[in-house]
Structure 1
Amino acid sequence: MHEPILVTGGTGTIGRRVVPLLRETGSAVRVLSRRGGEDSAGVRHCTGDTVQDIGLDAAFDGASVVLHLAGGARGDDVAAQNVVAAARRASVRHLLLISVIGADRMPIGYFRAKAAAEATVAGSGVPWTVLRVAQLHDFVVPVITTLRRMPLLIAPGGLRFEPVSVDEVAARLVQLAAGEPVGRAADLAGPEVLDIVRLAAAYADAYRLRGRARLPVRLPGAVGRAYRSGKNLAGPDADRGWQTWGEFLEHRAAVAV
């Protein structure tokens, strides 16, 4: 095994899929997270916070490749600045950032922070790769379950997603980490573009639930216009995953039995 690969957010939804895949390649892995974790063969855990700039130098020391997967509702732009500074000090040779499709087009704070993080990485002087991905299947589920708790299914017109498998995202990240920095990699989205009604219908089918009467609504303002024009969706040059929303739900429902 050579120099370790550092994964920030390595205990999160994507990170905990990425770490074992990196180990399968024979790489030593270092995981940075706020709560740390228990070390295992080839995996060392470090405690730190990318937004608060805590513990980064110790985690980055000696790392050749860094996958910056840590993120949240706020602070991704600040975290990127801290990560870039630590990567420079550690002479990292490849910094890989995960981002979201439409980061530079959607007038929403989360997307703007992702766009700012991308710009920070691209201008860092550290060799870099950015992978934009669509919403994970796992992240669409709470949207649908929240809407289903209401007496009527709220169906915002024009709100569409193209959910993608977390395992496919993890595999792509590991593939990119093994290669040379490429700048903007091809976006990765799911195989389907689905509106709320179709997402909810598939969820009801998978869990044998009754359908809900829907209440069409129109998202107002710039955000509504952006969603209706598909600015959150991948373009024709994006790569597409293979697992559909329905297949994901069928597997999830079967495991829950």
Structure 2
Amino acid sequence: MRILVTGSTGQLGTALLSQLRDCNYQVKITSRRKPESMEDFNWVYSDLLSGEGLDEAVKDVDVIIHAATSPTKKSEAIELTGFGNFLSKAQHIQHFIYPSIVGIEDIPFKYYRLKYEAERLLKNSNIPYTIARATQFHSFVENLLLSKPLFNRYVIPGKVKFQSVDVGEYAGYLTDLVNKGPQGKAGDFCGPEILTLKEMAELKIKINNEKNNVLSIPLAGKLYSSLIEGKNTNSMEKIGEITFEEYLRSKLID
């Protein structure tokens, strides 16, 4: 089996390479920047924005795991225009695995809307596919929302809910899909527990023995309401096993 991993220098791409390092597949990786560690992998340059290198990237490949994404910079050009161009070059692919995000059709956030449109592009293509949605990664929640206390306080929308998941576990789930073949839309891959952001902040304070406190502030708007309602969670799909607390404790060991 010949596999291509896009976005090989990103967080998910790096986790995928760890999962695939000792496998029996022939693995090709592609990104704009050459990875620092690429033992046993064949790297080729490609750019979803310009289209450069995509033909070479998909050449002689059976399966694609599309970890490339851009939440903040030129998102529409990469998530939709670039992705559509990529799909046009991947018509020979036997299985296209597309990592996506739980609840994107119900959360009014631009990046999520683009991911949902990208799902539609893949569904309407002639390529056999699996759409594999996950909840937010543990590290995403911590680094984006719990990284910078202000005057010894985490000032956060504390009632927002997350069901965060370990990126390594999700990468393992994606690699397991390779042998299962195209699934269409697979079940959601979600973390083992649903916590409010306030509860997650309190866990971080406790585990790290911080002197910080939590100041929970309400926000207005549909985005905030959808996250309070837990549209980004799925209580029926608690597949991941590593909790947010275990993630925090593992960082102390590292």
TM over 0.5: yes
TM-score after normalising by structure 2: 0.91
After superposition, the Cα gap between the structure-2 partners of 1:78 and 1:151, relative to the gap in structure 1 and judged at 3 Å, is farther
Percent identity between the aligned chains?
28
What is the one-letter code of the residue matched to 2:249?
E
Which residue of structure 1 lines up, in the alignment, with residue 229 of structure 2?
229
One-letter amino acid of the structure 2 residue matched with residue 252 of structure 1: K
Q: Any conservation in 2 of the 1:6–1:63 contact (CA below 8 Å)?
A: yes
Contact 2:102/2:135, CA 8 A, preserved across alignment: yes
**Using the alignment, how far apart are the partners of 1:205 and 1:38 within structure 2?**
35
User: Partner of 1:250 in structure 2?
Assistant: 249
> Contact conserved, 1:37 with 1:46, CA < 8 A, in 2?
no
User: Deviation at 1:39?
Assistant: 8.2
Matched, 1:7 2:5: yes
Q: Indicate yes or no: 2:94 matched with 1:96.
A: no
Letter in 1 for 2:232: N
Amino acid at match of 1:219: L
> Are 2:59 and 1:29 equivalent residues in the alignment?
no
- Cα deviation for residue 225 of structure 1 reads 2.0
Pairwise CA RMSD:
1.8
Q: How does 1:51-200 map to 2 (within 5 A)?
A: 51-73=49-71, 74=75, 75-88=78-91, 91-200=92-201
Give structure 1 stretches of 5+ with no counterpart. none
Change (3 A) 1:153 1:57: same
CA distance in 2 between partners of 1:201 and 1:28 (Å) = 44
The whole-number CA distance in structure 2 between the counterparts of 1:228 and 1:95 is 33
Deviation at 1:20, TM superposition (A): 3.5
* In structure 1, C-alpha distance between the alignment counterparts of 2:32 and 2:221, rounded to whole Å: 37
For 1:40 and 1:187, how far apart are their aligned partners in 2?
Answer: 30
1:99-148 residue CA offsets vs partner (Å, 9 max, x unmatched)? 01111111000110110111111111100001000111111121343452
Range 151-160 or range 12-21, more displaced: 151-160
1:186 CA drift (Å): 0.7
Shift of 1:189: 0.9
- In structure 2, how many angstroms separate the alpha carbons of the residues matched to 1:160 and 1:133? 15
Letter in 1 for 2:87: V
**In structure 1, what residue type is equivalent to 2:222?**
A
